[in-house]
């Protein structure tokens, strides 16, 4: 009898996982609190045994669907198995939650430190120019800062592709410690050639961070919750951007420009060691089952080997028209983002009569804060749409829908910013910029997530790298081209260009509102094969 009860409890845990893989695993990922007294109920025991049998059938070869005998089981046990709450909102085991939280904290702090070592020169440069020993001017600083985005954009693409063959947690930690070491080496230089070389090297190493975090997020968090956690991870941009002036600028002012580079470098090495100890590539590395179904069948002797790096890039990324659609959308979203961050201060001074750059900067300071809030809410909204869909439709398409809503919001907020009179209170203008950031950073975050979910686990890094490369091409086009538009045609043409970019993004996204994720496509394929058998 005790054995039967234990088997029943095991069956229920396996059923709650709603995954054939989870049912086959030995380590329980989901647990339910069951009162011991309730196990004595014959009806409940019978229902639990039926669920255990269903889970076992799903775990067996060709067992994606229950047998006809199981489908005709007594009606009194069926409602419990069909309850949406069980399948839609399973609870993870406390041990898994703690371990996953540690991994999540590791990637958030880790990527924040990437931003710290990336922005260190920005807040150290004024002290370098003021140092009479270096004999530097703004033009030389501009040469260094121009090299960085070129190296960084290419690095995101290359590291995303090549990194697919290496451990993302090791790459994340190693890349951070390497870029930290570059910051420290930068501080020992005295010549422009030295500075340019190491800053270009820093840009090359910085591209490792984003694709690695994307790969870890997709393996530790299931589709129905991934948008929320991806949005929370996205605040690493804001945390790192907030810490950079405090750390780099503070140390440079107090102890000299060298410490403006050394302090972020030392912090990066310490955080890199923490990331290396805290993060793991996927739950299976620690004995937990996968959070979503994966193909765990042993490889057959006559099975063809996996494609090489180039083949994986071509088949999963470059030959996927929807990835190209996402990339082009990213291009235009980054045109708007960089266009806002680069030119709003100039617009307020030239067109709205703001007295100086300091006052204009205060009015646009809400952009990052709005972006933080918008990213979090966008992730929650997309997760909510997926959960409420009841398994119908495409998960990626649900996230694309949210991106389209936000893109319309960007256009409306830009029109409002242009229409506000010069005499409007500063608080109103600040809130308007806050809303621009709110709507702008949601698509920036979700497009990357859509690209990660469209491809298989082995191609997530390549997808993120490709999307990031195209995005930074868009950012580059917000510089000189927009400056020419403003100079030749005025600020009305500038706003028309940004709103036109939003319109093109909406046009590109419109065919993708029903897109299914890779996991959904694989599940449908297995069900189809099971029916054919």
Q: Are 279 and 19 in contact (CB under 8 A)?
A: no
The angle that helices 491-509 and 321-351 make with each other, rounded to 10 degrees, is 160
C-alpha closest to that of 368 among 390, 341, 343, 392? 341
Question: Residue 135, by phi and psi: left (phi above 0), alpha (psi -120 to 50) or beta?
Answer: left
CA separation for the pair 149, 241 (Å, rounded): 16
State both tokens at 522.
């694989």
For residue 529, the tally of other CB atoms under 10 A from its CB is 11
State both tokens at 33.
């609190």
C-alpha closest to that of 510 among 400, 383, 377? 400
The C-alpha R_g of the chain, in whole angstroms, comes to 26
Q: In tens digits, what is the pLDDT along the chain, a chain of 533 residues? A: 444 444 444 443 443 344 443 443 444 444 433 333 333 344 333 444 444 444 444 444 334 334 434 333 333 444 444 444 333 444 788 999 999 999 999 999 999 999 899 888 878 888 888 888 888 887 787 778 777 877 887 787 777 766 677 899 999 999 999 999 999 999 999 888 999 999 999 989 998 888 899 889 989 998 888 888 888 888 888 788 778 888 888 898 889 999 999 999 999 999 999 999 999 999 999 988 888 765 544 445 444 445 455 666 666 677 888 999 999 999 999 899 888 887 887 788 888 878 776 677 778 878 878 888 998 899 889 989 988 887 778 889 999 999 999 999 999 999 999 998 878 888 999 999 999 999 998 998 899 888 888 887 777 777 877 888 888 788 777 767 888 888 889 899 999 999 999 999 999 999 999 988 888 888 888 888 888 87
Q: Where are the beta strands (DSSP E) in 336-472?
A: none
Say if pTM beats, i.e. exceeds, 0.75.
Answer: no
* pLDDT at residue 336 in the model: 93
* pLDDT at residue 98 in the model: 93
Count the residues in the chain.
533
Q: What is the DSSP track for 228-249?
A: HHHHHHTTHHHHHHHHHIIIII
* pLDDT at residue 312 in the model: 61
* pLDDT at residue 363 in the model: 83
User: For the chain, how are helix, strand and coil distributed in percent, rounded to 5?
Assistant: 80, 0, 20
Three-class SS state of 92: strand
The angle that helices 120-130 and 94-118 make with each other, rounded to 10 degrees, is 30
* pLDDT at residue 309 in the model: 56
Q: Which residues contact 473 (CB under 8 A, 6 or more apart)?
A: 153, 331
* pLDDT at residue 34 in the model: 36
Three-class SS state of 287: coil
* pLDDT at residue 122 in the model: 78
CA separation for the pair 234, 452 (Å, rounded): 14
CA separation for the pair 459, 446 (Å, rounded): 18
C-alpha closest to that of 104 among 257, 322, 278, 342? 278
State both tokens at 301.
């002797």
| Strand partners of residue 110 | none
* pLDDT at residue 153 in the model: 76
Side-chain half-sphere exposure of 154, counting CA atoms within 13 A:
9
DSSP code of residue 516: P
* pLDDT at residue 525 in the model: 85
Q: Which residues contact 109 (CB under 8 A, 6 or more apart)?
A: 236, 271, 274, 275
* pLDDT at residue 328 in the model: 94
Q: Which residues contact 335 (CB under 8 A, 6 or more apart)?
A: 474, 475, 477, 478, 497, 498, 501
State both tokens at 478.
């917000």
CA separation for the pair 398, 405 (Å, rounded): 11
Q: How far apart, in Å, are the Cα atoms of 342 and each of 51, 338, 475, 476?
A: 59, 6, 10, 11
Side-chain half-sphere exposure of 374, counting CA atoms within 13 A:
28
| Own/partner pairs, 526-533, CB within 8 angstroms, 24+ separation | 526/64, 526/293, 527/64, 527/65, 529/62, 529/64, 530/62, 530/63, 530/64, 530/65, 531/65, 533/62
State both tokens at 349.
């001074």
* pLDDT at residue 30 in the model: 43
* pLDDT at residue 46 in the model: 42
C-alpha closest to that of 164 among 208, 202, 123? 208
CA separation for the pair 127, 459 (Å, rounded): 43
* pLDDT at residue 102 in the model: 95
């Amino acid at each position: 009898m005790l054995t039967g009860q234990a088997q029943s409890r095991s069956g229920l845990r396996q059923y709650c996982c709603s995954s054939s893989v989870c049912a086959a695993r030995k380590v329980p990922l989901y647990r339910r609190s069951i009162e011991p007294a309730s196990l004595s109920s014959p009806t409940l025991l019978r229902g639990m045994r039926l669920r255990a049998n269903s889970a076992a059938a799903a775990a067996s070869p060709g067992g994606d669907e229950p047998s006809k005998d199981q489908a005709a089981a007594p009606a009194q046990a069926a409602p419990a198995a069909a309850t949406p709450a069980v399948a839609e909102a399973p609870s993870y085991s406390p041990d898994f939650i703690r371990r996953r939280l540690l991994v999540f904290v590791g990637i958030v702090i880790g990527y924040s430190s990437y931003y710290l070592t990336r922005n260190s020169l920005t807040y150290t440069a004024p002290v370098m120019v003021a140092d009479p020993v270096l004999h530097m001017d703004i033009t030389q600083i501009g040469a260094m800062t121009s090299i960085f985005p070129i190296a960084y954009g290419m690095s995101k693409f290359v590291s995303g592709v090549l990194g697919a063959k290496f451990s993302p947690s090791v790459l994340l930690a190693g890349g951070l410690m390497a870029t930290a070491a570059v910051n420290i080496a930068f501080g020992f230089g005295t010549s422009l050639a030295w500075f340019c070389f190491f800053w270009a090297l820093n840009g090359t190493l910085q591209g490792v961070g984003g694709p690695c975090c994307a790969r870890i997020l997709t393996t530790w968090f299931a589709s129905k919750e991934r948008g929320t956690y991806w949005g929370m991870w996205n605040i690493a941009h804001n945390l790192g951007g907030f810490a950079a002036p405090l750390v780099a600028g503070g140390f440079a002012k107090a102890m000299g420009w060298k410490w403006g580079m050394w302090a972020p470098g030392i912090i990066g090495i310490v955080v890199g060691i923490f990331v290396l100890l805290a993060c793991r590539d996927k739950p299976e590395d620690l004995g937990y089952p996968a959070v979503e179904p994966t193909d765990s069948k042993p490889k057959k002797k006559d099975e063809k080997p996996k494609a090489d790096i180039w083949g994986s890039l071509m088949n999963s990324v470059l030959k996927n028209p929807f990835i190209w659609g996402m990339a082009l959308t990213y291009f235009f979203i980054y045109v708007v983002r960089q266009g806002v961050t680069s030119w709003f201060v100039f617009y307020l001074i030239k067109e709205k009569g703001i007295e100086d750059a300091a006052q204009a900067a205060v009015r646009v300071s809400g952009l990052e804060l709005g972006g933080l809030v918008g990213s979090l809410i966008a992730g929650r909204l997309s997760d909510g749409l997926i959960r409420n869909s009841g398994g119908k439709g495409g998960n990626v398409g649900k996230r694309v829908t949210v991106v389209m809503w936000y893109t319309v919001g960007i256009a409306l907020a830009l029109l409002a910013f242009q229409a506000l009179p010069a005499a409007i209170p500063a608080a109103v203008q600040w809130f308007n910029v806050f809303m621009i950031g709110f709507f702008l950073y949601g698509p920036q975050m979700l497009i990357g997530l859509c690209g990660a979910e469209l491809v298989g686990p082995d191609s997530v890094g390549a997808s993120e790298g490709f999307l990031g490369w195209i995005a930074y091409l868009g950012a580059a086009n917000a510089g000189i081209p927009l400056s020419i538009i403003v100079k030749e045609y005025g600020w009305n043409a500038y706003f028309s260009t940004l709103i036109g970019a939003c319109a093109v993004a909406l046009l590109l996204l419109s065919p993708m509102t029903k897109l299914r994720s890779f996991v959904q496509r694989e599940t449908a394929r297995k069900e189809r094969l099971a029916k054919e058998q």
